[in-house]
Chain A
Amino acid sequence: MAKSTSHGQKSAPIRCPLDRSKLAELARAFHDDDPVWYEEAAAATAGFDGVPAPPTVGVLADHWREGGVHELIAIAGLDPERVLHGEISWEYMQPLRMGDELTATTALGEITTREGKRGGTMRLATVETDFVNQRGELALRRRDVLIEKGKA
């Protein structure tokens, strides 16, 4: 694997509020329409000190980014026509609650190249997004690996 030098580039911070409408939309999209994911009373009955957010809530950074996931691809300098979402991972540092005001900052990590099985050079870009809450705590870190297929 070869390494490129173009890492460290950052996006402008994105405000990412964990509001009730988005949390209800996500719960329904995930076929898990339990009000504990978007109603204070249901969450309190379940014993939570607020309404918990689902583990993949960090996707909302893409909702608030003007160009959606395309902007991640642009940050990485990849050709959107050839990009696949290979992997994603999340690290959780603080509980995530409805009403949190997260600020997401995305930075381009390493870009590596690899010879594709069907010819052409594949590029793999790691893009890391940190979510800081309204108390200034790093609450969530999301890492995406984008794969740009080689030109056939």
Chain B
Amino acid sequence: MTRTRSTTQHSDAALPVRPVRLREGDELPRAVAGPLTRTDFVRYAGAGGDLNAVHHDETVAQRAGLPSVFGMGMLHAGMLGNRLARWVGPDNIRSFSVRFTSQVWPGDELTFSGHVTRLERQDDGHAHAEITLSIVNQSGQEVLRGQATALVSGQDANCD
């Protein structure tokens, strides 16, 4: 495959500033990334500073008994974080947590999903949304499970 650069597209949706209106069951806009390449891993190694050789040096990875290099968890966690920010607004995220459940390999295609599991109304017309997040690969295997809380606009309030 002759790819000179990794895909760097973004959706046309503007990044929200103020709390957005969300209801229970609302879903993260569907997002996919991949097939991921070694170049994607190297680019993130440089950006984020994870120079663990098992993520970029095939020789080291194979000596460790792995089939090839694999992606840093923080790369797909970061991709998910940006997609969460695009949904609820970066300043409205109160917490974000992820657990890495399986490795990501070159060639993997990731699908990002999430939905609001609960809304907790505040007195000021806002609410806190509890959000469950997940990333699966092309085989349907989950590689990351996540949770987030975000400040959102109350269901029936006219705020903001």
Bound: A70/B55 CA distance, A: 14
Q: Shortest Cβ distance from B148 into chain A, in angstroms?
A: 9
Collect the chain B residues with CB atoms within 8 Å of residue A8's CB. Answer: none
A29 touching B9 in the complex, CB below 8 Å, given contacts A53-B90, A59-B49, A87-B98: no
Quick one: which of B17, B77, B78 contacts A48, CB cutoff 8 A? B17
Q: Shortest Cβ distance from B78 into chain A, in angstroms?
A: 4
Q: Shortest Cβ distance from B97 into chain A, in angstroms?
A: 3
Collect the chain A residues with CB atoms within 8 Å of residue B100's CB. Answer: 84-87
Collect the chain A residues with CB atoms within 8 Å of residue B18's CB. Answer: 47
Q: Chain B interface residue count: which class?
A: 35 or more
Q: Are B99 and A87 within 8 A (Cβ)?
A: yes
Q: Is A68 at the interface (CB under 8 A from chain B)?
A: yes
Q: Are B15 and A55 within 8 A (Cβ)?
A: no
Q: Are A62 and B15 within 8 A (Cβ)?
A: no
Docked complex: A13-38 residues within 8 A CB-CB of B: 22, 25-34, 36-37
Bound: A47/B16 CA distance, A: 8
Chain B, residues 63-98, CB within 8 Å of chain A (1/0): the string is: 000000000111101110111111000110111111
Besides A28-B47, A59-B50, A63-B47, 9 new A-B residue pairs in contact (Cβ under 8 A), listed by A number: A25-B43, A26-B78, A29-B47, A31-B79, A32-B8, A36-B15, A46-B15, A91-B94, A96-B90
B contact residues vs A (CB 8 Å cutoff): 6-10, 14-15, 17-18, 33, 40, 43-44, 46-52, 72-75, 77-79, 81-86, 90-91, 93-100
Instruction: Across the A-B interface, give the 4 residue pairs with the lowest CB-CB distance, nearest first.
Output: A63-B49, A89-B97, A55-B81, A25-B47
